[in-house]
């Protein structure tokens, strides 16, 4: 049995990995901004 190379599969895998990294960065940025906004809101409300 010979192992065949599938360029399409490696292309899909590469795109999948790259897009997952981008989605992970976007999600981390969203969580960071959300948390900082929450903290600023809490501190502003507690000062009033």
How high is the pLDDT of residue 30? 92
Split into its structural domains, the chain has a count of: 1
Q: How far apart are CA 34 and CA 41, in angstroms?
A: 11
Q: Provide Rg for the chain, Cα atoms.
A: 21
3-state SS of the chain is CCCCCCHHHHHHHHHHHHHHHHHHHHHHHHHHHHHHHHHHHHHHHHHC
**pLDDT tens, residue order, the chain (48 aa):** 455 665 667 777 777 777 788 888 899 999 999 998 888 877 766 665
Q: Which residues constitute the domain of residue 37?
A: 1-48
pTM: 0.50
């Amino acid at each position: 049995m010979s192992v065949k190379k599938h360029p399409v599969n490696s292309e899909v895998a590469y795109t999948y990995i790259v897009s997952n990294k981008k989605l992970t960065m976007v999600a981390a940025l969203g969580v960071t901004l959300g948390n900082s906004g929450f903290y600023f809101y809490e501190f502003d409300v507690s000062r009033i």
